[in-house]
Amino acid sequence: MQRRPPAMINRQRLQTSLIDFSLPARSKHFDFRRALSHGGGVHAFHGFLEPHEDDLIGGSQLSVVVHESEPFTLEWTQPGSDRLIERRVEPDMLHINPGDRPFRQRWTNRPRLTGIALDRNLVDRIGQESFGRTSDDIQTVVAASDKRLLAIMQVVREELASGTGNEGAFAEHLGMAMAVLLFRHCPPSAPMAQI
The sheet with strand 42-49 has its strands ordered as 30-38, 42-49, 112-118, 62-67, 94-97, 141-144
Q: How far apart are the first and last CA of the chain?
A: 46
Residue 24 lies in a domain: yes
Higher-scoring residue by pLDDT: 150, 169: 150
Burial 72-83 (b: 16+ CB within 10 A, else e): bebebbbeeeee
CATH number (domain holding residue 56)? 2.60.120.10
Residue 119 lies in a domain: yes
CA dihedral 136, 139, 145, 147 (to 10 degrees): -20
Residue 190 lies in a domain: no
Residue 162 lies in a domain: yes
Give the angle 84-87-89 at the CA atoms, nearest 5°. Answer: 145
Residue 148 lies in a domain: yes
Per-residue pLDDT tens over the stretch 42-81: 999 999 999 998 889 999 999 999 999 999 999 999 877 8
Residue 193 lies in a domain: no
Number of domains in the chain: 1
Owning domain of residue 137:
6-185
Per-residue pLDDT tens over the stretch 5-40: 334 335 456 788 899 998 777 788 999 999 888 877
Residue 1 lies in a domain: no
Q: How many CA atoms lie within 13 A of 129 on its CB side?
A: 9
For the residues 88-101, what does the mean pLDDT come to?
94
Per-residue pLDDT tens over the stretch 98-153: 888 899 999 999 999 999 999 999 999 999 999 999 999 998 999 999 999 999 99
- Strands 42-49, 112-118: pairing kind: antiparallel
Residue 113 lies in a domain: yes
Could you give the CA distance from residue 184 to residue 145 in angstroms, rounded to a whole number? 16
